Chain A
Amino acid sequence: GENVEQHPSTLSVQEGDSAVIKCTYSDSASNYFPWYKQELGKRPQLIIDIRSNVGEKKDQRIAVTLNKTAKHFSLHITETQPEDSAVYFCAASIINNDMRFGAGTRLTVKP
């Protein structure tokens, strides 16, 4: 089955700096790569996703890039704010079935 690795496990940045979280996947058949944000004590929520036929996608301050050849994808958050502090999870699947998640990255944005 699919295996997703996520780095780093913790990330601390100053407010206004950029944050980058990286994931690799093992199954070349995977074609859907969502990112979820989970605030403390809350449920995960989708923040951005990308399909395998697209190399990059942006939504305001967040962007995701995908390198199918290397089987890795990354989340980029620019101009970080304290409310960006949360745990971020990457995931990979074939369409949205049997989705496998990375172990998560705890992002702390220091004011």
Chain B
Amino acid sequence: NAGVTQTPKFQVLKTGQSMTLQCAQDMNHEYMSWYRQDPGMGLRLIHYSVGAGITDQGEVPNGYNVSRSTTEDFPLRLLSAAPSQTSVYFCASSYGAGSYNEQFFGPGTRLTVL
């Protein structure tokens, strides 16, 4: 199993550009989530999904869109990038929504918005 994969690893955008961060898992996990990590602020939940076709907002959803058309994929879209979105983005997944199972994190995407 590849586990949780994310692409790209690094990305530089200009203000106003849009892009999609890709996340995929091959563990048949129902639950998937996106976090951003900023220095001194820990991990903040952006959006999460408890299964295909179901998404919900987390703590900091503004400026981001998600969709979940398959169990495996959970892309994160930045609609119009802003310097405040410069961060490291982590995707995570766990077996069974509504459970106490471990979240497995992807390797992260480091995004810089100029």
Q: Please report A residues at the B interface, Cβ cutoff 8 Å.
A: 1, 6, 9, 32, 34, 42-46, 49, 51, 89, 91, 95-104
Contacts and interface: CB of A to CB of B under 8 A. Distances in A.
Nearest to A9: B40
Contacts, number: 60
B42 interface: yes
For the complex, would chain B's binding face be called helix, strand, loop or mixed by DSSP majority? loop
**For B41, B42, B50, B102, which residue has the most chain A Cβ atoms within 10 angstroms?**
B42
Nearest to B98: A95
A46 B42 contact: no
Contact of B103 (A1, A6, A96, A103): A96
For the complex, would chain A's binding face be called helix, strand, loop or mixed by DSSP majority? strand
Contact of A101 (B44, B56, B98, B107): B44
Nearest to B33: A99
B105 A45 contact: yes
Contacts of B101: 96
B48 interface: yes
A99 B45 contact: yes
Interface string B84-110: 000000100010011111110111100
Contacts of B102: 34, 46, 49
B45 A100 contact: yes
Contacts of A34: 102-103
A44 B89 CA distance: 12
A97 B101 CA distance: 10
Closest A-B pairs by Cβ, 5 of them: A43-B105, A101-B42, A101-B43, A103-B42, A46-B102
